[in-house]
Structure formats: C-alpha cells, structure tokens
C-alpha cells in the first residue's frame, strides 16, 4: 500500500512541477524537493526505473542515480516542433545535472544531429536552437529524439548506434529553463497533420 501511495505522490509532484516550471520556477522548486524525497523512499522498494511505451519497456536514457532525477510529463512548452514537423505533446523532460550521461534506448541510425549551439536560457525565442540527436529504429519504425544534449564528437549523421550506447551529455542549449534532457518516442506517420507523432510514455518501477 505504501509503495502505491509513493508512486501516486511521485506522479502528482511530477505533474505539478511540469505545470509550474514554465510559470513560476520558485513555486516549482517546492515540488522538485518533494520529488527528490519521494524518489528516495521509492528506491527502498525498487532497484530499477524504466520507461513504458504501449507494451514495450525501455531502459531510461539517463540515470536516476544522479544528484537528482525529475521526470516531467506534459510540459506547457511541449507542442509542435516546426523543423521536423513533429507533435511533441507526449514528450518527457528529465531534469538532471548538467553533463549527465545520455544513452540510447535502442539500436538505430542517426538521421538528424546538431552539435553547434552554445546559447541557452529561459527564452521561448530560442526554441529549436538546441543541440539534439534523432535516431531511427527501422525494426520498430520509430524515431527516438534526444534534445538539449551535447553529442560525443564521434557521433555523426548516419552513425550506427547500439542500445545503451553513450550518445553525449546533458547541456542547457536552446529554450531551457534548467539543464535537462527532452526525450520523445515518435511513431512515423505517412499522412495526417504531423509526420512524427509522439507516443505516450510513463515510468515503470521494477
């Protein structure tokens, strides 16, 4: 019962943090602290946290064992990404320390990458001006998006990557309120309003 209550609290604090972060960062910090405290309690019952998307389970693209680990779903800033004609409404932001490792959740090939941006702050005009990696998994017909990440030098367009391979490190480029990884799982659409449609993701405690 306590485990269930802790998960419910964790999800609630995540939603409140996501809602407030773009409105009032000071108020949001109250929920950041509650998230941190609740995670410590949850880890007494679970050794691993994964992601679940439909019926598929993924390893996290970041570690939950850093100084803090705050997953935020349904951020107010998650919407259409113009440069790739994508719907980002189901993206998740992982607030974790600057320079935290980012790993691939799948095998695939890099279809888009940017390494050149250096500026980042809480400014909507900087949306889309971050560093990013997009990886195409042919077997799943999905694209995995990692934004606000500084790619490793050896990671380039058309590079083949393996599941759990280190891709780079969290940075603070583009429209970024705090250092974080913006992560999305896209289903590729051949018609409709968006070419890339984000799929719902949730945490899976194991």
Query: Residue 70: which domain range?
Result: 2-205
Q: Which 3-state string (H, E, C) describes 150-170? A: EECCCCCCCCEECCCCEEEEE
What whole-number distance in Å separates Cα of residue 180 and Cα of residue 148? 7
* pLDDT in the model for residue 37: 95
Q: Give the tens place of pLDDT for each residue, 144-189.
A: 999 999 999 999 999 999 999 999 999 988 777 788 999 999 988 7
Q: Which residue has the tokens 């509650």?
A: 34
Question: What is the tally of structural domains in the chain?
Answer: 1
Return the pLDDT at 194: 54
> Three-state SS across 106-148?
CCEEEEEEECCCCCEECCHHHCCCCCEEEEEECCCCEEEEEEC
Residues 64-78: tens digit of each pLDDT? 988 899 999 877 676
Contacts of 156 (CB under 8 A, 6+ apart): 110, 113
Nearest CA-CA partner of 70 in 15, 144, 115, 121 = 15
Output the domain CATH number for residue 165.
2.70.70.10
């Amino acid at each position: 019962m306590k485990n269930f209550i802790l998960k419910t609290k964790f999800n609630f604090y995540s939603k409140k943090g996501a809602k407030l972060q773009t409105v009032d960062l000071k108020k949001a910090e109250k929920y950041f602290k509650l998230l941190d405290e609740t995670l410590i309690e949850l880890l007494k019952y679970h050794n691993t946290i994964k992601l679940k998307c439909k019926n598929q389970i993924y390893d996290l693209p970041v570690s939950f064992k850093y100084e803090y680990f705050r997953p935020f779903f349904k951020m107010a800033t998650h919407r259409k990404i113009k440069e790739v004609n994508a719907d980002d409404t189901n993206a998740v932001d992982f607030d974790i320390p600057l320079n935290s490792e980012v790993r691939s959740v799948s095998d695939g090939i890099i279809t888009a990458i940017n390494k050149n941006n250096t500026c980042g702050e809480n400014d909507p005009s900087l949306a889309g001006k971050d560093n990013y990696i997009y990886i195409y998994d042919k077997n799943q017909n999905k694209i995995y998006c990692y934004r606000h990440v500084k790619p490793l030098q050896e990671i380039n367009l058309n590079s083949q990557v393996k599941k759990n391979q280190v891709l780079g490190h969290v940075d603070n480029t583009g429209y970024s309120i705090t250092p974080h990884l913006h992560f999305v799982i896209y289903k590729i659409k051949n018609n409709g309003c968006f070419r890339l449609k984000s799929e719902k993701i949730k945490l899976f405690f194991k």
